[in-house]
Amino acid sequence: MSEETTSVDNGVNVQALLDAKAALTDAPDAAQFKWRASCEWLNGTHSKSSIEGFYGLGEEHKHRAEYDFESDHPLCFASEDNAATPVEIVLAGLAGCLTAGVAAVAQNRDIQLKSVKATLEAPMNIQGILGCDPDVRNGFDGITVNYEIDADASQEDIEALVAQSQKRSAVYDIISNPTNITVNAKKG
């Protein structure tokens, strides 16, 4: 059914994804991935996280290069603002994940994308992180993502793209559902 010729090209190799889905459905072990990051404190609230290797398909992999992500706090937090805050990097992760999904779903549905832009906003009451009020949570009160998509498709098709992208998004799931976190520490 996916044999039809199409001129739609969003730069996503959908056939490879469909093949991977078919292959991994009956190979649950190969589908087990492990994502990794390391982080080193620089100074103050400034630190640098590095991402290089991950595990999947039964073996170790390396990215083409090591990718670094610095984070810091802004001047109004009495920090030096050397980089984005970690919570902004979370928004960037969500946006990157959803947007990749929009492109993949569009390709699969033969929709040519011309431009995809998202703006994200997440209100937060910092009484939580400051410890002013134990009833205020540390994290976001919610996240709003606004997409503006120019494509050869109806408004309804575009809404369906974005809905399907959320359904398949890892970061959307990570943020919208609870995840157990284990943090270990040792003197080194």
Partner 1 sequence: MSRRSNGRPTRNIDVAVIGAGHAGLAISYCLAESAIDHVVLERGEIANSWRNERWDSLTLLTPNWQCKVPGHRYSGDDPDGFMPVPALIDFIDEYASVSAAPIETNTEVTSVRSHDEQYRVSTDDAEWQCRAVVIASGACNIPSVPAVAEAVPAAIQTVTPHDYHAPEQLDHGGVIVVGASATGLQLAEEIHRSGRPVTIATGEHVRMPRVYRGRDILWWLDRVGISDERYDEVDDVVRARRLPSPQLVGTPEKTTLDLNAMTAKGMKLVGRLMGFNNEVAQFSGSLKNVCSLADLKMNRMLKTIDEWVDDNADTSSFDPVERFEPTRVDESPPLTLDLNKEGIRTIIWATGFRPDYSWLDVPVLDHKGFIRHDGGVAESPGMYVIGLPMLRRRKSSFIHGVEDDARDLHAHLAEYLHH
Q: Is 178 helix (H, G, I), strand (E, B) or coil?
A: coil
Q: Candidates 94, 95, 104, 175: give the one binding partner 1 (CB under 8 A).
A: 175
β strands within the chain, DSSP E: 38-43, 46-56, 59-71, 113-121, 144-151
Q: Does 5 bind partner 1 (CB under 8 A)?
A: no
Helices 155-167 and 86-108 pack at an angle, to 10 degrees, of 120
Nearest approach, Cβ of residue 160 and partner 1 (Å): 5
DSSP 8-class letter at 34: B
Among 16, 156, 183, 187, binds partner 1 (CB under 8 A): 156
Stretch touching partner 1 by CB under 8 A, among 50-58, 63-71, 87-95, 159-167: 159-167
Instruction: Report the residue from 142, 181, 183, 188 that binds partner 1 according to the rule CB under 8 A.
Output: 142
Of residues 113 and 162, the one with the C-beta less far from partner 1: 162
CB atoms within 10 A of CB 154: 10
Q: Does 26 bind partner 1 (CB under 8 A)?
A: yes
Q: For residue 29, give the nearest of 59, 54, 61 by alpha carbon.
A: 59
| Interface ranges with partner 1 (CB under 8 A) | 1, 25-26, 28, 141-142, 156, 159-160, 163-164, 166-167, 172-173, 175-178
